[in-house]
């Protein structure tokens, strides 16, 4: 296989995820509105919001450093890099010499997302208001609790596949060597708990809130405006769909077996279907629960840790 | 020039540097310049010798020195392991030598002679430890390292530094005593100080003796490496020294102890064939996991920048030990285990280099802040990013690297440690495999906490508004200091983006310790691009940090071009929104506040103390004045050392009660002891 194909594949799937990211947000908002007996905004509202933000001018805090302008750029770049790593509809088959696509490691993917979060939090402290600091402090606290669980979930799958490479994990699934059993079920449950935390939704965070004291992620974005804010919002949409795609890649990958248009279309429909199911899950939880008190979160995420740990234990014992 | 000539020149340069105060005693400035010039020359020679020995392993350095005693000659040699650690030592020493003179001019200690003699002897002793080929040289160099660093810790004077020095030297000597005991046992059997004969003798030991000796050595080395619970000296001593010496102590001196662990575990005490006792690997792994989690948890609650960094050294030593532990556990077991052991050992070695680079960088940044503001308390800093952009960006780079985030070096070595733990877990299966996965989740927790800690450290120091007049008037440090920081920053970027060539340097020590084909056969280094480790059953795990970094860079440039594209609506500056009040520095989030949620969540461990005094006047709802005081105490200090101290004091007071002051009583005690001793041991 020529060396350019992995790049084209990675960039193509990245473009797909970036293009669909706002749509997923729109879908969740719409579903949530319907569940609350409202008509809600159109599915394409997030695209209009982005277009508006990118056209606008920007206001910068007069105390901010040069980092403040760099943060949205670096955060979006890191999130896009993560998007290039997750297989969506197709993975290149492993070569006979064991050579694989050099992009696609699960730990690297989590690393890029963590870099995005690190820089967003640092940028939030730049303007020097209490809201940014509060958001950053809480976001980093949640992240320290989420990250070990994510790693254990990934490892419980990786132990079976013998690799942390997502392409390898997907190949392990699609070649029928993997039977969906109790460990997968437990790990999937843990992953769904984490999905709520990673996408910043109720009960961990409230994306709709405008009360400063209750927000985590929104609090960090408070001082950004115009194109910078647009970058951060787009990064958030992309991160959401990346995590959704990661759930699928780890457990139920709908992958095409070849690059023929028919197979790709089938795989894409599978991806879209599963994404709608996960979006419905997020919307259902968001419409039927309240945000948890911040210091109750360790217990909530603890459920995830216990089931992820049990999944790993079942796999090994 | 051959490596052995280079080594001689290196030690000669250090000697000249140490002798600078004699030659140039009339001027403090010239003494400093000359001393650091010697250090720089020696360190550059050291880097050169190390790289030469690592890339051409067939030209080993062996030399015997003068016979100090009739029964023991001093001898030195440099194998792959020694050369790699020499590289780490010398690299940070170059940066320290560049940084030192300007730093000391702005922030002098009591005596320039102690500064330059101390730092040269310190670095030369560390180099001599990795060169040592017999027990006597090793112990002498080890002691030189301790004494020279002690002199530097107390160089600034003052009550706090004296106490730090006392704790440090007591702990260091307790460790040295253990090492000395082990060496005496081995030397007695081998009837020689030479490492070659010691190794031969150790191969004949029984398993029980071998394990006992290893644990004694591990205790001695752990005290030097700052492993929990023997770390209490570290957060005292490292901040007390001048900053470039802190960089050396934290970035390098702890690694010399790691060198000892590897040297004893894989080499000197190892049986001739068959796997190493499993208790070694598990002990090292568990110590590593504990140190990393506790180290970073305590780091989070520190508000003194250098103290915070010192606690992070405890954490990173833990991470290195995790890699070393899994390697000790799996090496010589055949099959997939061998491969994973090689990856674990390579991860430990690479993290040794990486930690030296980013921790050195961060300590030098802390030194710059000290020069610019004479402050280290995070709560008094703030807003330095606008006045010191170089230091700010370099600190951010170090912070990203130490938080193990791509695309920098910390990520590469932690990725390899993760691989070793997960694939090792898969290879071990059962409860042992699960333990490896638990260690992996401890590592993930450590990474997350480190990121939180460095968002705090960076944000509170460099962003927002200045919270003191010193911080408001800070100016950027001179070029020579920035050069030292830039060198280490370049290492962080290079290892992160191009791990391939650096891993080829790790190959020699891995081959030297666990034999076989080394890492080259196991890890495919496709050009500079792909770093991949063969896992179980032919599975492959690969990551190309080069490709990932290139992608990241290209995307960042693209996004920047899009954002910076001129728009009709312009940009403007405005004050931060603070709900309509006039913003000042009291609106900024403080370090204490930032770490508060984690202090709350981990309260069982921290047991935080706080006192709040409220002055409310007539109306209880209107607070006129509020005084808050909070503190987090190290659990090792309260649970272990305080109790130990109480026990000692208790015994001492019991003894004092029986000391009557009458000579007859004492003679009675002496005769009683003599009688008991004769009864117990006098039979034969």
What's the pLDDT tens digit per position in A53-98? Answer: 999 988 988 888 999 999 999 999 999 999 998 888 887 765 534 4
Which helix (DSSP H) or strand (DSSP E) does residue A214 occupy? none
- State the pLDDT at residue B524: 53
| Whether the predicted pLDDT of B521 surpasses 60 | no
User: How far apart, in whole angstroms, are the C-alpha atoms of residue B577 and residue A63?
Assistant: 12
Residue numbers in A near B431 (CB within 8 A) = 317
Residue numbers in A near B415 (CB within 8 A) = 105, 107-108, 111
Distance from CA of A152 to the nearest CA of B (A): 6
DSSP annotation string for B400-454 = HHHTT-TTSHHHHHHHHHHHHHHHHHHHH-HHHHHHHHHHHHHHHHHHHHHHHHH
pLDDT band at B535 (very low <50, low <70, confident <90, very high): very low
Residue B304 three-state SS: strand
Q: Give the percent of chain B with pLDDT over 70.
A: 94
| Residue B221 CB neighbours (<10 A) | 26
| Whether the predicted pLDDT of B332 surpasses 70 | yes
What DSSP designation does A96 have? T
Tell me, yes or no, if B527 comes closer than 8 A to chain A by beta carbon: no
Residue numbers in A near B560 (CB within 8 A) = 73
Tell me, yes or no, if B547 comes closer than 8 A to chain A by beta carbon: yes
Q: Which of B348-357, B367-376, B636-645 has the lowest mean pLDDT?
A: B636-645
Mean per-residue pLDDT over chain B, rounded: 89
- State the pLDDT at residue B61: 67
Sign of CA dihedral A216, A219, A224, A227: positive
Answer for the pair B254, B224: CB distance below 8 angstroms, yes or no. Answer: yes
Instruction: List the structure tokens of B555.
Output: 């995307």
pLDDT band at B73 (very low <50, low <70, confident <90, very high): confident
Find, among B443, B608, B440, B601, the residue nearest to A299 by Cα. B601
- List all residues of chain B from 558 to 577 with a beta carbon under 8 Å from chain A: 558-560, 562-563, 567-577
Same domain, B627 and B663: no
User: How far apart, in whole angstroms, are the C-alpha atoms of residue A266 and residue B180?
Assistant: 70
Same domain, B622 and B658: no
Answer for the pair B26, B9: CB distance below 8 angstroms, yes or no. Answer: no
Q: Please judge whether B459 and A121 are an interchain contact, meaning their C-beta atoms are less than 8 angstroms apart.
A: yes
Q: Give the percent of chain A with pLDDT over 90.
A: 54
| Whether the predicted pLDDT of B533 surpasses 70 | no
Q: How large is the average pLDDT for residues B325-332?
A: 91
Find, among B278, B306, B383, the residue nearest to A65 by Cα. B383
Answer for the pair B99, B480: CB distance below 8 angstroms, yes or no. Answer: yes
Count A/B contacts: CB-CB distance under 8 Å: 298
* Closest CB to A162 among B442, B460, B535: B535
| Whether the predicted pLDDT of B240 surpasses 70 | yes
Q: Please judge whether B385 and A125 are an interchain contact, meaning their C-beta atoms are less than 8 angstroms apart.
A: no
| Residue A23 CB neighbours (<10 A) | 18
pLDDT band at B537 (very low <50, low <70, confident <90, very high): very low
Higher pLDDT, B55 or B538: B55
* Closest CB to A76 among B540, B559, B574: B559
Same domain, B627 and B650: no
User: How far apart, in whole angstroms, are the C-alpha atoms of residue B361 and residue B365?
Assistant: 6
| Whether the predicted pLDDT of B526 surpasses 50 | no
Q: Please judge whether B392 and A65 are an interchain contact, meaning their C-beta atoms are less than 8 angstroms apart.
A: yes
State how many domains chain B has.
2
Site of tokens 């070649």: A175
- State the pLDDT at residue B512: 85
- State the pLDDT at residue B59: 60
Instruction: List the structure tokens of B449.
Output: 């906490």
Q: How large is the average pLDDT for residues B14-21?
A: 92
Peptide bond into B229 cis (omega under 30): yes
Higher pLDDT, A211 or A201: A201
Higher pLDDT, B540 or B240: B240
Residue numbers in B near A198 (CB within 8 A) = none
Q: Please judge whether A127 and B600 are an interchain contact, meaning their C-beta atoms are less than 8 angstroms apart.
A: no
- List all residues of chain B from 474 to 513 with a beta carbon under 8 Å from chain A: none
Closest chain B residue by Cα to residue A110:
B405
Q: Please judge whether A62 and B574 are an interchain contact, meaning their C-beta atoms are less than 8 angstroms apart.
A: yes
In a domain, B617, yes or no: yes
| Residue B678 CB neighbours (<10 A) | 10
Mean per-residue pLDDT over chain A, rounded: 87
Q: Please judge whether B444 and A137 are an interchain contact, meaning their C-beta atoms are less than 8 angstroms apart.
A: no
Q: What is the pLDDT of residues B88-143, one digit of tens each?
A: 999 999 999 999 999 999 988 888 899 999 999 999 999 999 999 999 999 999 99
Tell me, yes or no, if B196 comes closer than 8 A to chain A by beta carbon: no
- State the pLDDT at residue B209: 92
Across-strand partners of B194? B134
Instruction: List the structure tokens of A156.
Output: 């419980």
Higher pLDDT, B410 or A173: B410
Largest pairwise CA distance in chain A: 59
Tell me, yes or no, if B390 comes closer than 8 A to chain A by beta carbon: no
Q: How large is the average pLDDT for residues A178-207?
A: 89
Look at residues B631, B646, B661 and tell me which one is the last residue of a structural domain. Answer: B631
Show the DSSP H helices in chain A as ranges: 4-35, 45-55, 66-85, 106-126, 130-161, 166-174, 182-198, 217-221, 226-251, 261-288, 297-316
Q: How large is the average pLDDT for residues B318-340?
A: 88
SS (H, E, C) B523-561: EEEECCCEEEEECHHHCEEEECHHHHHHHHHHHHHHHHH
Answer for the pair B411, A111: CB distance below 8 angstroms, yes or no. Answer: yes
Q: Please judge whether B452 and A158 are an interchain contact, meaning their C-beta atoms are less than 8 angstroms apart.
A: no
Closest chain B residue by Cα to residue A112:
B406
In a domain, B612, yes or no: yes
Q: What is the pLDDT of residues B23-52, one digit of tens each?
A: 887 888 899 999 999 999 999 999 999 999
- State the pLDDT at residue B403: 95
| Residue B244 neighbours by CB under 8 Å, 6+ apart | B95, B96, B99, B100, B103, B119, B363, B364, B367, B484
Residue numbers in A near B568 (CB within 8 A) = 57
In a domain, B620, yes or no: yes
User: How far apart, in whole angstroms, are the C-alpha atoms of residue A248 and residue A242?
Assistant: 10
Residue numbers in A near B548 (CB within 8 A) = 81, 85, 103, 108, 112
Q: What is the pLDDT of residues B546-558, one digit of tens each?
A: 888 889 999 999 9
Site of tokens 């081995």: B186
Residue numbers in B near A98 (CB within 8 A) = 534, 538, 540
Instruction: Provide the domain limits for residue A176.
Output: 4-316
In a domain, B490, yes or no: no
Residue B250 three-state SS: helix
Q: Please judge whether A231 and B540 are an interchain contact, meaning their C-beta atoms are less than 8 angstroms apart.
A: no
Peptide bond into B252 cis (omega under 30): no
- State the pLDDT at residue A217: 86
Q: Please judge whether A107 and B578 are an interchain contact, meaning their C-beta atoms are less than 8 angstroms apart.
A: no
Q: Please judge whether A81 and B548 are an interchain contact, meaning their C-beta atoms are less than 8 angstroms apart.
A: yes
Instruction: List the structure tokens of B531.
Output: 């770093």
- State the pLDDT at residue B522: 54
* Closest CB to A81 among B530, B541, B555: B555
Which helix (DSSP H) or strand (DSSP E) does residue B78 occupy? strand B72-78
Distance from CA of B499 to the nearest CA of A (A): 14
Residue numbers in A near B563 (CB within 8 A) = 72-73, 227-228, 231
Distance from CA of A223 to the nearest CA of B (A): 7
| Whether the predicted pLDDT of B637 surpasses 70 | yes
Q: Please judge whether A130 and B578 are an interchain contact, meaning their C-beta atoms are less than 8 angstroms apart.
A: yes
Q: What is the pLDDT of residues A8-64, one digit of tens each?
A: 888 888 999 999 999 999 999 999 999 999 999 999 999 999 999 999 988 988 888
Query: Alpha carbon of B268 to those of A293, B79, B174, B198, B218: distances in Å?
Result: 56, 13, 21, 7, 13
Distance from CA of A57 to the nearest CA of B (A): 4
| Whether the predicted pLDDT of B275 surpasses 70 | yes
Q: What is the ipTM of this complex?
A: 0.95
Find, among B358, B585, B311, B548, the residue nearest to B453 by Cα. B311
Instruction: Provide the domain limits for residue B676.
Output: 636-681
In a domain, B452, yes or no: no
Find, among B394, B456, B448, B413, the residue nearest to B324 by Cα. B413
* Closest CB to A294 among B406, B548, B597: B597
Reading across the β-sheet that carries B530-534, which strands appear in turn? B523-526, B530-534, B540-543
- State the pLDDT at residue A307: 94
* Closest CB to B430 among A56, A126, A317: A317
Q: Please judge whether A127 and B542 are an interchain contact, meaning their C-beta atoms are less than 8 angstroms apart.
A: no
User: Highest mean pLDDT range out of A43-52, A165-174, B324-333, B576-585?
Assistant: A43-52
- List all residues of chain B from 38 to 97 with a beta carbon under 8 Å from chain A: none
- State the pLDDT at residue B263: 94
Q: What is the pLDDT of residues B357-407, one digit of tens each?
A: 999 999 999 999 999 999 999 999 989 999 999 999 999 999 999 999 988
What DSSP designation does B274 have? S
Which of B406, B419, B449 has the most A C-beta neighbours within 10 Å, making it the best mutation to test the interface with A? B406
């Amino acid at each position: 296989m020529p060396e350019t194909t992995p790049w084209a594949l990675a960039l193509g799937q990245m473009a797909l995820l970036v293009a669909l990211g706002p749509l997923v947000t729109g879908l969740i908002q719409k579903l949530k509105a319907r569940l609350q007996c409202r008509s809600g905004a159109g599915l394409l509202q997030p695209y209009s919001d982005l277009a508006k933000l990118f056209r606008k001018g920007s206001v910068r805090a007069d105390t901010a450093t040069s980092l403040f302008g760099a943060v949205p750029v670096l955060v979006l770049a890191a999130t896009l890099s993560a998007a290039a790593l997750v297989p969506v509809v197709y993975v290149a088959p492993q070569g006979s010499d064991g050579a694989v696509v050099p992009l696609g490691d699960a730990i690297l993917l989590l690393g890029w997302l963590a870099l995005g979060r690190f820089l967003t939090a640092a940028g939030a402290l730049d303007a020097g208001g209490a809201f940014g600091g509060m958001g950053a402090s809480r976001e980093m606290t949640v992240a320290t609790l989420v990250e070990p669980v994510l790693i254990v979930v990934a490892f419980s799958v990786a132990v079976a596949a013998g690799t942390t490479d997502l392409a390898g994990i997907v190949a392990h699934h699609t070649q029928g060597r993997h039977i969906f059993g109790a460990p997968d079920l437990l790990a999937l449950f843990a992953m769904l708990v984490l999905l709520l935390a990673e996408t910043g939704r109720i009960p961990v965070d409230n994306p709709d809130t405008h009360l400063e004291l209750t927000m985590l992620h929104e609090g960090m974005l408070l001082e950004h405006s115009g194109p910078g804010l647009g970058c951060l919002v787009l990064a958030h949409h992309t991160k959401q769909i990346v995590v959704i795609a990661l759930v699928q890649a780890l457990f139920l990958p709908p992958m095409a077996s070849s690059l023929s248009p028919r197979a790709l279309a089938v795989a894409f429909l599978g991806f879209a279907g599963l994404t709608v199911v996960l979006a419905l899950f997020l919307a259902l939880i968001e419409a039927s629960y309240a945000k948890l008190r911040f210091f109750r979160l360790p217990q909530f995420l603890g459920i995830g840790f216990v089931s992820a740990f049990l999944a790993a234990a079942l796999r090994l014992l | 020039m051959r490596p052995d000539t280079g080594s001689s020149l290196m030690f000669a340069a250090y000697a000249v540097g140490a002798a600078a105060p004699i030659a140039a005693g009339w001027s403090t400035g010239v003494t400093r310049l000359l001393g650091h010039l010697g250090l720089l020359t020696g360190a550059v020679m050291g880097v050169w010798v190390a790289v030469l020995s690592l890339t051409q392993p067939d030209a080993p350095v062996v030399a015997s020195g003068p016979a100090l005693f009739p029964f023991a000659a001093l001898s030195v040699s440099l194998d792959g392991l020694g050369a790699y650690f020499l590289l780490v030592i010398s690299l940070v020493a170059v940066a320290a030598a560049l940084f030192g003179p300007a730093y000391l001019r702005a922030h002098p200690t009591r005596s320039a002679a102690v500064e330059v003699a101390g730092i040269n002897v310190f670095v030369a002793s560390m180099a001599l430890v990795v060169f040592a080929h017999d027990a006597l040289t090793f112990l002498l160099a080890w002691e030189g390292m301790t004494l020279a660093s002690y002199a530097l810790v107390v160089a600034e004077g003052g009550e706090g530094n004296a106490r730090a020095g006392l704790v440090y030297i007591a702990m260091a000597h307790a460790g040295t005593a253990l090492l000395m005991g082990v060496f005496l046992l081995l030397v007695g059997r081998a009837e020689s100080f030479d490492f070659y004969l010691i190794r031969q003798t150790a191969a004949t030991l029984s398993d029980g003796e071998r394990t006992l000796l290893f644990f004694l050595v591990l205790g001695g080395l752990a005290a030097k490496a700052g492993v929990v619970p023997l770390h209490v000296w570290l957060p005292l001593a490292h901040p007390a020294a001048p900053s470039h010496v802190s960089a050396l102590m934290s970035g390098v001196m702890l690694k010399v102890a790691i060198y000892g662990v590897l040297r004893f575990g894989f080499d000197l005490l190892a049986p001739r064939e068959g796997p190493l006792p499993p208790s070694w690997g598990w002990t090292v792994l568990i110590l590593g996991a504990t140190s990393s989690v506790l180290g970073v948890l305590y780091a989070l609650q520190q508000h003194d920048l250098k103290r915070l960094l010192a606690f992070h050294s405890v954490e990173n030593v833990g991470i290195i030990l995790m890699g070393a532990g899994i390697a000790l556990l799996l090496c010589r077991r055949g099959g997939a285990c061998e491969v994973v052991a090689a990856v674990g050992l390579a991860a430990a070695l690479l993290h040794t280099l990486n930690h030296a680079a980013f921790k050195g960088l961060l300590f030098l940044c802390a030194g710059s802040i000290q020069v610019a503001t004479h402050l280290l308390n995070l709560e008094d800093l703030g807003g330095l990013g606008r006045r010191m952009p170089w230091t700010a960006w370099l600190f951010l780079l170090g912070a990203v690297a130490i938080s193990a985030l791509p695309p920098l070096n910390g990520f590469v070595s932690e990725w390899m440690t993760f691989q070793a733990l997960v694939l090792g877990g898969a290879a071990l299966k059962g409860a042992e495999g699960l333990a490896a996965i638990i260690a992996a989740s401890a590592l993930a927790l450590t990474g997350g906490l480190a990121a939180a800690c460095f968002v705090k450290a960076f944000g509170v120091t460099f962003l927002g508004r200045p919270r003191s007049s010193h911080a408001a008037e800070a100016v950027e440090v001179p070029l020579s200091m920035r050069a030292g920081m830039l060198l280490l920053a370049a290492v962080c970027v290079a290892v992160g983006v191009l791990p391939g060539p650096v891993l080829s340097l790790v190959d020699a020590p891995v081959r030297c310790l666990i034999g076989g084909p080394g890492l080259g056969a196991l890890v495919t280094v496709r050009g500079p691009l792909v770093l991949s480790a063969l896992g179980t059953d032919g599975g492959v795990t690969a990551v190309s940090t080069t490709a990932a970094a290139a992608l990241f860079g290209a995307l960042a440039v693209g996004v920047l071009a899009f954002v910076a594209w001129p728009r009709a609506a312009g940009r403007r500056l405005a004050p931060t929104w603070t709900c309509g009040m006039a913003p000042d520095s009291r609106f900024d989030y403080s370090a204490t506040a930032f770490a508060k949620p984690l202090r709350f969540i981990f309260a069982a461990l921290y047991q935080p103390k706080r006192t709040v005094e409220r002055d409310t006047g007539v109306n209880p709802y209107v607070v006129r004045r509020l005084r808050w005081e909070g503190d987090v105490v190290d659990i090792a200090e309260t649970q272990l050392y305080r109790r130990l101290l109480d026990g000692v004091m208790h015994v001492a007071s019991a003894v004092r009660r029986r000391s009557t002051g009458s000579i007859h009583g004492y003679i009675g005690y002496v005769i009683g002891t003599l009688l008991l001793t004769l009864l117990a041991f006098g039979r034969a």
